[in-house]
């Protein structure tokens, strides 16, 4: 059960990092 909860946190961090990277690329394109 702890692993499942930890996985959720990891996924959230990964998602946030991807969003930032995408935002930078989008901004650079403009």
CA distance 28 to 30: 5
Total number of domains in the chain: 1
> Taking the alpha carbons of 19, 20, 22, 27 in that order, is the dihedral positive or negative?
positive
Alpha helices in the chain (DSSP H): 2-29
CA distance 13 to 7: 10
| pLDDT score of 20 | 57
| pLDDT score of 17 | 55
Mark the ranges of the chain whose per-residue pLDDT is less than 70: 1-6, 8-30
| pLDDT score of 3 | 66
Rounded alpha-carbon distances, angstroms, from residue 3 to 8, 15, 28: 9, 18, 37
Q: Range of 30's domain?
A: 1-30
Helix (H, G, I), strand (E, B) or coil at 4: helix
């Amino acid at each position: 059960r702890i692993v499942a909860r930890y996985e959720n946190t990891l996924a959230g961090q990964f998602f946030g990092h991807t969003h930032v990277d995408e935002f930078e690329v989008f901004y650079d394109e403009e």
